Amino acid sequence: MASLIGSFALVFGLCLSIFIIFFSIKNFKDNNILDKKVVSLTFLQFFFVLISFFGLIISFVNSDFSNETVFNHSHTTIPIFYKISGAWGNHEGSLLLWLLVLTLFLFLFISTSKKQAKQYRILTLLFQQIIIIGFFIFLIKTSNPFNYIFPVPNEGLGLNPILQDPALAIHPPILYLGYVGSSIIFSSALSAASLSYISKGWAKHIKQWVLISWIFLTLGILLGSIWAYYELGWGGFWFWDPVENVSLMPWLALTTLLHCILVLEKRLALTSWVVILSIATFALSMCGTFLVRSGILNSIHTFANDPERGLFILIFLFILIFLSIAVFFFFHKNENQNIKNLFWLSKETSILVNNWFMMYFLSVVLIGTIYPIFLEVFSSEKISVGPPFYHSLIIPFLIPFLIAMAFAPRLKWIKSKIEDKIQMIIFFVISFFISLLIVKNFDIDFLLNTILITSAFYLFFITLKDFFSKRIGNLAQNLAHFGFSLLILSILFNNIFSKEVITNLKIGETFISEDFKINFENVDKKNEKNFKAIIGKFNIENIDGNIEVLNPELRIYNQPNIITSEADIKTNLLTDKFITMNVVQNQDYFNVRYQVKPFMIWIWISVILISFGGLISILKKKYEN
């Protein structure tokens, strides 16, 4: 019954789009007040999609295996929490979640933008409805989450064990709030460009939507990174996996857009940048959806391998991009101050320089992600682009980027001069000597690492000082920039000081290195509702004589019948001790991977600080209003 209601609710939601468009066009020139029918219909459309979404969740909770999606991704033995999260832990359910967020953001936009011009609000609604209709058709035609199976199976195929995790259960909804949030920015920018509505007032209005999308996207990427760290057993925070990259690209574009909005809010400059970045952010979100859903990318994160679905999204993406280009070239009037008139030492110029750096980083990630795809299409040659490619192209440009970030917040609008020169020189000298000490005492490349660590420490000291500076009183900016400097520093230390051992051990054996001993004591067994666990006991004896006990697991799931390796991680403020084990086939050995990962917790904390900076900016704006 829940599946039937959910299916009908989807169709009703699509039908409502016709009425919304009809009344919106009718109301476009009628009067100066937005018709209440339009607002009511927008809410009703969201409500029907919400009913459909809850219908899918109820089908999962009740183990209704007459529903094909439930049959493919659930099982009666799965804990209730993962039955619920399983509703969006698959292709069909995740697309329904996309649609839910699309309609929610549209309703919130219409409800909270009453001070804006009526025609601008209606045109934004119409552009958003084009996206919503596209996703309705995509769901109903190629990815219906309510397909019926007859005869009804007694059991389902089960949920992928790596998705049975709390972090990954909440990761998709938060990430989608960031992804789909960019759709309302896209629609708003096209509407404002069409009506020549771009102004300082519009910048203040759209800035909150940019911040909301940016915060959720940041937190969504963080949760995905934490999940991959402990669940996949790779022992790192970022692997340049293609699906990780397709979430990073819209974040880079959105971060650049946020800085451009700040300029537009103050000086009515960089309007073309704002429109282009608004289009690019949503296009990259859609591009990521296409790559993940089409099965083109070879990644642990991908959901589906269906060319029909990929082709639909690709055609839809091209339609949206061509529509955007047409609006930009035919309607957008670039009447703002020309960037050539910007003084070379000003906040505007520093943000423009920031834009170019961010676009370069975005280009590197984009090329590294899609180049293997094109190479395979044209030459049938398969390659993988890994960390060395990204590091070699990004790190040299990261150094001037960090130094520019240290200077930018201290500059003033229109025209500025460098203040606190002596302090800045002292910080640079201190940073240089600290980096020299680190590089000399550890076996790492001298020249590049000295400059990189110097620039990272320099940004860290400058942003830390800004907290105590009365002249630079923007708490949100200070917190976000400090978080970023802490992130870069933590990543550097993590890479420099990490240690790893991979060895095969029998029960009772010991591995000895210069820094620690690994004693494989024994294994224990445990039965859970939907899996059996083999738990290893390892005593890690450090060079100082301190002993830590780590208990990694091997889990054998009953449905689907899959073996997963669960890491055990001991965390403190300085270091993570990380261990996994795997069975070596046809032997009594276990493959053991032990890693010492410094400053991991500070990587997570720094990203949270960056997100809090955005949250403070939103709260500050609401308080001021």
> How does pLDDT run across 27-66, given as a tens digit for each residue?
887 767 777 888 999 999 999 999 999 999 999 999 999 9
Phi and psi based region of residue 158 (left: phi greater than 0; alpha: psi -120 to 50; beta: remaining): left
Quick check: 380 pLDDT over 80? no
pLDDT tens figures, 94-126? 889 999 999 999 999 999 988 888 899 999 999
Contact 532, 525 (CB under 8 A): yes
Whether the pLDDT of residue 2 is over 90: the answer is: no
Q: Report the pLDDT value the prediction gives residue 623, as an integer from 0 to 100.
A: 45
Q: How many beta carbons lie within 10 A of that of residue 150, not counting itself?
A: 6
Domain positions in the chain are: 1-164, 387-497+609-624, 499-601
442-493 confidence digits (pLDDT tens): 767 666 778 899 999 999 999 888 877 655 557 888 899 999 999 999 999 9
Q: What is each CA distance from 154 to 65, 66, 67, 73, 151, in whole angstroms?
A: 7, 9, 12, 14, 9
396, 364 in Cβ contact below 8 A? no
pLDDT tier for residue 386 given thresholds of 50, 70 and 90: confident
Tell whether the model's pLDDT for residue 524 goes beyond 60. yes
CA distances from 518 to 192, 500, 585 (A): 63, 12, 22
Q: How far apart are CA 586 and CA 38, in angstroms?
A: 67
**Hey, is 62 helix, strand or coil?**
coil
Q: Taking 80 as the threshold, does the pLDDT of residue 137 lie above it?
A: yes
DSSP structure class, residue 339: G
Q: In the prediction, which pLDDT does 232 show? A: 73
The predicted model scores a pTM of 0.91
Sorted by sequence, the CB contacts under 8 Å of residue 355 that are 6+ apart come out as 256, 259, 260, 273
Amino acid 624: pLDDT: 47
Cα(186)–Cα(97) distance, rounded to whole angstroms? 19
pLDDT tens-digit map of 159-204: 888 788 888 788 888 988 998 889 999 999 999 999 989 988 999 9
Query: Mean per-residue pLDDT for 503-516?
Result: 88
